[in-house]
Amino acid sequence: MSKHSFRVCFFFSRRFRTNAAEAPEDVKMMFNKYSKHGTMNIDQLRTFLEEIQGETSETKAEDIFNSLKHLNIFQRRGLYLEDFFRYLLGDLNLAFPHCQGVYQDMGAPLSHYYIFTGHNSYLTGNQLYSKSSVTPIIRALKRGVRAIELDLWPTSKNNGIEVRHGRTLTSPVSLIKCLRAIKDHAFTASEYPVVITFEDHLNPELRKEVAKMVNETFEDMLYVPELEDLNKLRSPESLKKRVLISAKPPKNKKGESTKEKPSTDKQRDIADDDIWGSVRPQEDVDEDDLEEDEDEDVAVPEYRKLIAIHAKKKKPGLNLQAFLNDTESVSRFSLSEQALEKATKDYGRDIIRFTQRNLLRVYPKGLRLDSSNYNPMLGWTHGAQMVAFNMQGYGKYLWIMQGMFRGNGGCGYIKKPDFLLNNLDHKPSNSRSSSSTMIRRLTIKVYMGEGWNSEFGLSHFDFYSPPDLYVQIGIVGVRDDTTTERTATIQDQWVPVWNAKFSFSISTPELALLRVIVRDHDTSGKDDFAGQTCLPVKELRSGIRAVPLYSKRGEKYKHVKLLMSFEFE
């Protein structure tokens, strides 16, 4: 036990005792049950792992003993209670192990997977006047993002190509820098394919230049489809370490650039949303919604050949339902978050059928100038593979996105639930699981937490006392699975002990995520953030487990973690 002093004014200070992390009563009971005379040998540890933790690995107990060699456990032939407690809070006992690796079937078509997708991947900040750079592209790829969006525009003299957010004050970055950054970092976090979506605002001559850049940059990494492959999507497994281009095939008149005439529906959206006059985010007019000239005399064949996934637009006046049920070709179609919400009310099943064979990309509405995000669940429950997110900031929806794609080894691809691929006899917004591994209820106990005094400054949370920490915990998923609880607030403690138990019913575990947020209660203002994590429920390990927490921006803290238990029914 140590003491911390907080200066209140010039002549006075307050002292607080900081308790050392101590094993909770449940841990003591488990240790006493599986040990003898205060020591747990390797066979007893192996029994604990099998009966309580659900682990049957023959070498796991040996690995744990080897990791604790500095405690001289081989001289005393076993673990003391403190050793056992430190193991439970250590990296060999995580609720969500990073070493699990890819375990899902990766041999199905791309349309059968959720794909970790970025929006305006080159922007460093807001959508109106921030800088464009390769830095956010590299950061996204290192975190496992598999779909990068680049907006292609001609330079001011119309003799080069730059990447920028059109009709805004954002600065440009050269296309070649973006392509090289993608090549160098595409497979740092995952060997599964990277999709580059081009939003193309170029003339035919510049498209030829793009084709040359792409070919010279990626060489053998680039997947160039055969003509017969355009009517089917290959699997992530067959496309390992390959880069795919997705764009709308050009259909220009000779010597003319693509016209920027939005369709009638999109014009109406712009009229509703446009508060910036001539300066407005180009994403209000998605490339898939732009009108085109019908003459295909000059289609830039070298550019068109690169496009592995064709983006498709709905012609003005065509009924959305008829468009979605067009099965002649495989394509990618884009909808804004608002358009998706509207479409799902009338055409929910048609959207799901469309996504069984095609790709659906959902993008943030244009008024999200601060690079905020939207709830991804509506897109996911309707089969949308590419729910495009702004990765520049933070917030609960981005944490949910990061949590979803921590699954399946963090490879950037998550297999969609079977009920979205086969059975449509359900309401998409309130889906029921058809999984062979059913999870009806998850019971969680939050024991304690530690590490804040090592991660943060003494007065980070409060100038005059240690933090008053509490935990918000809940399930994020389909409508029936969305609920949140919270622990009591433990005052003036760097090592809070809650011993709080919660139980959550779960109808659709395939889309259920455990969301945990720790906050410091502040009586005079907004509660301070103290850590968060979001994890796929189906990949949580049962038993008493360590749960590391992350910063607002999704960076893992070195020391801050919770001790929790998980029990599935």
DSSP string, 206-273: HHHHHHHHHHHHHGGGB----GGGGGS---TGGGTT-EEEEEPPP-B-TT-PPP--B-HHHHHHHHHH
Nearest to 338 by CA among 260, 431, 269: 269
The length of the chain is: 569
Q: Does domain 439-568 have CATH number 2.60.40.150?
A: yes
Domain boundaries, the chain: 21-93, 110-251+299-412, 439-568
Could you say which of 119, 201, 382, 426 is catalytic? Answer: 119
* Residue 188 burial (CB count, 10 A): 12
Give domain 21-93's CATH superfamily: EF-hand (1.10.238.10)
What is the pLDDT tens value at each position of the chain, 569 positions in all? Answer: 566 666 666 566 666 666 778 999 999 999 999 999 999 999 999 999 999 999 987 788 988 888 877 766 666 778 999 999 999 999 999 999 866 789 999 999 999 999 999 999 999 999 999 999 999 999 999 999 999 999 999 999 999 999 999 999 999 999 999 999 999 999 999 999 999 999 999 999 999 999 999 999 999 999 999 887 788 999 999 999 999 999 999 874 544 434 444 433 343 343 333 333 344 444 444 544 444 444 444 579 999 999 999 999 888 888 899 899 887 789 999 999 999 999 999 999 999 999 999 999 999 999 999 999 999 999 999 999 999 999 998 999 999 999 999 999 999 999 999 999 986 644 444 444 444 456 889 999 999 999 999 999 888 888 778 899 999 999 999 998 999 999 999 999 999 999 999 999 999 999 999 999 999 999 888 999 999 999 999 999 999 999 999 999 999 999 999 999 999 99
* Fold of the domain built from segment(s) 110-251+299-412: TIM Barrel (3.20.20)
- Structure tokens, 405: 């794609």
CA 130 to CA 93: how far, in whole Å?
Answer: 42
Amino acid, single-letter form, for residue 166: G
Question: What is the reported pTM?
Answer: 0.89
Nearest to 148 by CA among 157, 161, 158, 139: 139
| Residue entry with tokens 């407005």 | 280
Cα–Cα distances in Å, from 437 out to 209, 410, 433, 507, 569? Answer: 51, 21, 10, 12, 11
185 is catalytic: no
Cα–Cα distances in Å, from 449 out to 154, 292, 530, 540? Answer: 53, 58, 11, 18
Please answer whether residues 320 and 353 qualify as being in contact, where contact means their C-beta atoms are separated by less than 8 angstroms: no
165 is catalytic: yes
Taking the CA atoms of 31, 36, 41 and 47 in sequence, report the sign of the dihedral they define.
negative
- Structure tokens, 163: 């990447």
